[in-house]
Chains A and B, each alone.
Chain A
Amino acid sequence: MNLSKRTLLAALALATLGTVAQAQDALKIGLIGTYSGPYADYGRQFDAGVALYLKEHGGKIAGRTVDIIKKDTGGANPDASKRIAQELIVRDKVQILTGLDFSPNAYAVAAVATQAKVPVVVMNASSSGITTASPYVARLSFTVQQVSDPMARWMLKQGIKESYVVVADYAPGVDSLTAFKKAFEQGGGKVVGELRTPMSNPDFSAYVQRIKDAKPQSVFFFFPSGVMPPAFLKVWKERGMDAAGIKLFATGEATDDSYLDATGDVALGLITSHHYSYAHPSAKNQKFVKDFEAQFGTSLRPSYFAVTAYDAMAAIDQALKKTGGDVSGDKVMEALKGLQFESPRGPIEVDPVTRDIVQTVYIRKTEKVGGKLVNVEFDKFDRVKDPAKEAQ
């Protein structure tokens, strides 16, 4: 401790001044996301959504300037997320936490939120249990079960009676399998086979061959967006599975807008279920995409990450307007419950009981429009809740 008394005092005075000045105007929001490593695009999408909302609203939320403090977890890292959340609350004095791309990170932060009574607005993490993990968590994104279950119901509507299910062998994969199987079998369909593929799997030929030999009427698959769906689709095309008469369905992760270009033509004609496509035809979305391109160019496509980031800011804005600027945890959570507004993805609302999102789930087909691959929505299920919580 070599600090002289005078420096110490000066520093203390400055720090106090700083806090006083900021407490008066700036709203401090902690944004926890992935900004480095293989998933760094998640953070970029979060930033883009947040920036778009703030730009549209003159940089203000509920009449206050906003100070966003970004923190990097470098991927799925619950320990770091917990530490970061603690730092943000204790040292940076943030009033609201948001971001959270990976489910394990969201669970870790939920525990901190309960202790500190700080509201958390989840921008992506999609494991069903997250909103039950803490009364201070609300989710604006989606759950894996929420998008898997409508696909099963839609397939039944098309007269498909049997299906083979392929999922990646990790928690969301199992979530998807559970929800799909339950909805499909309740509707009178039959799951004729299940495959769980390892997360690190360079070659899908054995799995696809197994399916081909089983000759099911249809196949439903769930893989996290990124490398796995194109690898699977390539082998699917190579084996001539379409010619063999086996229909293929998936959740929207398979044709994630930010990877669709890299996936290429193997995705053409694939039918998927998801809550957002950047080709969603509403005026609100067209403006969203236009503003996005004006600000960030066309090399990065707005994906569901950017949209939920945008919506999370809108939800915080509306909740704070309801509380009259009061940021205490209980008041904000109360205000978030039952919020309804128009998102670029369509009408959304926060379930007043579960604090989870209720939204339209669209059935889309991958088509080439103007030389670009896009997910064209052609059917939908309105006001879908997370089926995992419906059961309780």
Chain B
Amino acid sequence: MAIVIFDGVAYGMLLFLMAVGLSITMGLMNFVNLAHGSFAVVGGYAAAVVMNQLGLGYATALACAFVAAAVLGAVLEFLLYRRLYRAHPLDQVLLSIGLVFVSIAALTYFFGPSMLPFHLPEALQGQVTIAGVGVGRYRLFLIGAGLLILVLLLGMLRTRYGAMVRAAVDNQRVAAGTGIHVQRLFLLTFALGCGLAGLGGALSLGMLGLEPYFPLKYMVYFLIVVCVGGAGTIVGPFVAALLVGIVDVAGKYYLPEAGAFLIYVFMIGMLLLRPNGIIPRKGLA
């Protein structure tokens, strides 16, 4: 029982790490960004290249993953996304899903269609025993990383920067009138969301395979977490990811015949109960 909950929490943290960036770009900035997985996979490839070809350590690889995805996010925001902030959501969907296919083609061109090798550092392999339960080191590390990101983001939202973002999202004209450089603010925020996606992608590699089709394959999971949690908040996706992780792992453990299907039942149930997410953004509830 304990191990099932632990595995569920660890898996939930992985989902949170991958999806929290989407909550920022999609929720805070009101942009339906289906290309989130592309930024995640760019982070994953960056980490793998840094480790395999440059021979650098895991920590450096994670940092590079964040930077690579954030820089790509900033460039694309400047070139493409910025034009569609006030467009119809359907236009945003079309642009971002197009970017997904472009990213798949580009990665296939440079790295080939099959999996890229990635190996966790020695220190994160195997198990440690905590209170009589053997838990995976890598999973423990994921939980730690998830909590750290949660705390950092919550802290950031309380700063002046966080207040500026919220103001700019709610009313761009008034925010600009009070002297906020809205465009630069959005550029930064978008880059942050993409950077987090890249970090999540790199952190996920101990569990998931790295291949060009990653963005399409895991898109459903990002969207479930953000929709169930409530887009635009940090705590919402956190709670949702934990619940989804635990429901998924426990379902597969106790009810293997139906287990993989349970998260969809859970999602539908949650959306019926709380259509705007577990923790809706202020003004939506």
In the complex, B193 has a CB within 8 A of chain A: no
Interface pick from B107-115, B149-157, B265-273: B107-115
A202 engages B208 (CB within 8 Å): yes
B126 engages A209 (CB within 8 Å): no
Bound-complex Cα distance A227 to B249 (A): 19
B108 engages A40 (CB within 8 Å): yes
B138 engages A205 (CB within 8 Å): no
In the complex, A18 has a CB within 8 A of chain B: no
> Distance in Å from the Cβ of A210 to the closest Cβ of chain B?
5
In the complex, A264 has a CB within 8 A of chain B: yes
In the complex, A381 has a CB within 8 A of chain B: no
Interface pick from B69-77, B165-173, B213-221: B213-221
In the complex, A371 has a CB within 8 A of chain B: no
Bound-complex Cα distance A320 to B259 (A): 52
In the complex, A342 has a CB within 8 A of chain B: no
Q: A227-B211, A237-B125, A240-B134 are in contact. Are A203 and B249 (CB under 8 A)?
A: yes
Within 8 A of B (CB), among A229-270: 230-231, 234, 237-240, 258-259, 261-265
- Interface residues on chain A, size class: 20 to 34
In the complex, A58 has a CB within 8 A of chain B: no
Bound-complex Cα distance A209 to B259 (A): 14
Closest A residue to B115 using CB positions: A262
B253 engages A231 (CB within 8 Å): no
> Distance in Å from the Cβ of B284 to the closest Cβ of chain A?
30
In the complex, A39 has a CB within 8 A of chain B: yes
A206 engages B252 (CB within 8 Å): yes
Q: What chain B residues lie within 8 Å of A209 (beta carbons)?
A: 3-4, 7, 253
In the complex, A41 has a CB within 8 A of chain B: yes
- 16 A-B pairs (CB sep. < 8 Å): A38-B113, A38-B211, A41-B114, A195-B256, A198-B260, A202-B218, A203-B7, A205-B11, A205-B136, A226-B115, A227-B209, A230-B115, A230-B209, A237-B125, A237-B126, A258-B114
Q: Which 4 A-B pairs have the closest CB atoms?
A: A227-B209, A206-B252, A198-B260, A262-B115
Interface residues of A (CB under 8 A from B): 37-41, 195-198, 200-203, 205-207, 209-210, 226-227, 230-231, 234, 237-240, 258-259, 261-265
Interface residues of B (CB under 8 A from A): 3-4, 7, 10-11, 14, 108, 112-119, 125-127, 134, 136, 138-139, 206-209, 211-213, 217-218, 221, 248-253, 256-257, 259-260
Beyond A41-B112, A205-B7, A237-B126, 4 extra complex contacts between A and B, CB < 8 Å:
A41-B113, A206-B259, A230-B115, A259-B115
